[in-house]
Structure 1
Amino acid sequence: MTTYVCPVCRYPGLTEPPRTDAGPSYEICPSCGFEFGVTDDDHGVSDDDWRRRWVAAGAPWRSTTSPPAGWDGVAQLGE
């Protein structure tokens, strides 16, 4: 199964590309909670601004499902 990287938090497990020529995927990143096509297009929040907010909140896992074993939001960013 092909997976895609979230451009906001670098989570490597998105099931669809966040954006294509056809538009946004509307997928919600389970790591940072960014919804492509809604958070950005409808609410006007940029990737960078959402990343700053997510990191300021402690880079928490945003899905209702459990994170992958050993998941670390800050380490995922590679910063």
Structure 2
Amino acid sequence: MVDFEDYEAYRAQTIARLDRADVMRLLDEWRTKYARFPDNVEVLAIEFAEHHPEYQTEVSAALLKAGFDPLEQTD
């Protein structure tokens, strides 16, 4: 069994390895490749935006275009 802290570290590393192109491609292609996992697609994009705030506006627009809710705007 995996320790929760180890899992969180692994997840953070995985998100950190993604780049903008990966996330944009995922949101463009999710209906044909990952239609069974819409929640996973949305969460991955949201977490990417949280780890890379410089892309929040772009990810938010891509989420909306892909049929998801946009990111909540924070001040």
TM (norm. structure 2) is: 0.27
Higher strand share: 1
Higher helix share: 2
Bigger Cα Rg? 2
TM (norm. structure 1) is: 0.26
